[in-house]
Each structure stands twice: as C-alpha cells, then as structure tokens.
C-alpha cells in the first residue's frame, strides 16, 4: 500500500521558494582580490550583505585567467567567529589560509588572518585585519597596521609555505606564530 503525502511536496516547494527569495535578497560586495606567485588564479573575497546592507557572511571564490569561477564557498558570520574560523585556501589538502574573528553585522569588527608559513613544522603566522562598513554602506577589508582599505593583495610563497600576504599583512613584521 502506497501512502501519499501531498503536503511533503508542497512543503519542499515552499522551502525552495523561500530559499530563492533569500538568495535573491543577498547582495555581493567584492572586498579584496588576492593574487599569488604559484599560479594565475585570483582568490576573490566577497561580502554577502542584505539590502540594508547588513553583513550576512563571506564568499571565497577562485577565478581563473579567463574570469571563470573555478570554485566558490560561502561562510556565515557564526562560522567565521568559531574558534578555528574558516578555511579560505587549501593546498594539497592542507589549510593554508584561515580567517577567524567576530564581525558585527552592522559595523564590522576585527579578524585574524592565519597562513601556513612552514609545511614541515606546521607553523602558521597571524596578522590582524578589520572588516568595516563605510558611511556609504560599502564594506571594506582594512589593513590594521596602516588603517587603509585594501582592495588587492598578493600571497607570496616560498618552498615550504607562505612568506607574506602583501597589502593585507605588513611586511618585515615580527608575526606571532601558532599551530593550527
């Protein structure tokens, strides 16, 4: 005997419709483009905001030379605020760039950018950054050491890991080292 559950189909349709409305209400504001010296791909960090524009999260996408999106992943503010934060970049299955911090949806906040400096020892360097909402409603990544907005950065690598994230983290800085 087959039991029919017509409410299930209507519920699923309603959930899909609500999901489409929520997706349509989310706007994207590009925060920073990060190039690197290992390949021609660009990592694009995009703020996810609603119409007010209240921050909802972050999208990290990898774009190739032709401007085609190779991958994209979204994180909400709770994920970013979690103790380990979120993984922004992976190399050979290992997290190489992470972001962790508490971001107020209305005004922004501070965040720590961690990056793998030595694959053998597993050491990560950290630098402070800020996410701020400007008077015009546009969100920005702020270099905490210069106080200036950052729209472009460059991930500089060496044989065993990342040596610097230029533009976002200061160069020639005595970074705090940590293990992930």
As a whole number, mean pLDDT of residues 45-59 equals 95
The DSSP annotation for 76-110 comes to EHHHHHSTT-EEEEEETTEEEEEEEEEEETTTEEE
Helices (H), the chain: 6-25, 77-81
pLDDT band at 154 (very low <50, low <70, confident <90, very high): very high
pTM: predicted TM-score of the whole model, two decimal places: 0.79
Residues in the chain: 180
139 contacts 131 by C-beta, under 8 angstroms: yes
State yes or no: pLDDT of 147 exceeds 80: yes
């Amino acid at each position: 005997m087959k039991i029919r559950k017509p409410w299930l189909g209507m519920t699923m349709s309603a959930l899909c419709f609500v999901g489409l409305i929520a997706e349509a209400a989310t706007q994207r504001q590009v925060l920073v483009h990060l190039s690197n010296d290992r390949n021609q791909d660009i990592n694009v960090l995009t703020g996810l905001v609603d119409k007010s524009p209240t921050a909802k999260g972050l999208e990290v996408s990898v774009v190739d030379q032709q401007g085609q999106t190779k991958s994209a992943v979204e994180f909400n503010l709770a994920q970013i605020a979690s103790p380990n934060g979120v993984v922004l970049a992976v190399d050979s299955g290992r997290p190489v760039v992470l972001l962790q911090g508490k971001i107020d949806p209305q005004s922004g906040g501070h965040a720590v950018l961690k990056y793998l400096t030595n694959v053998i020892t597993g050491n990560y360097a950290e630098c402070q950054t800020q996410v701020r909402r400007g008077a015009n409603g546009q969100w920005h990544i702020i270099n905490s050491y210069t106080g200036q907005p950052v729209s472009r950065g460059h991930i500089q690598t060496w044989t065993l890991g990342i040596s610097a994230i230029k533009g976002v983290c200061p160069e020639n800085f005595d970074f705090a080292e940590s293990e992930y």
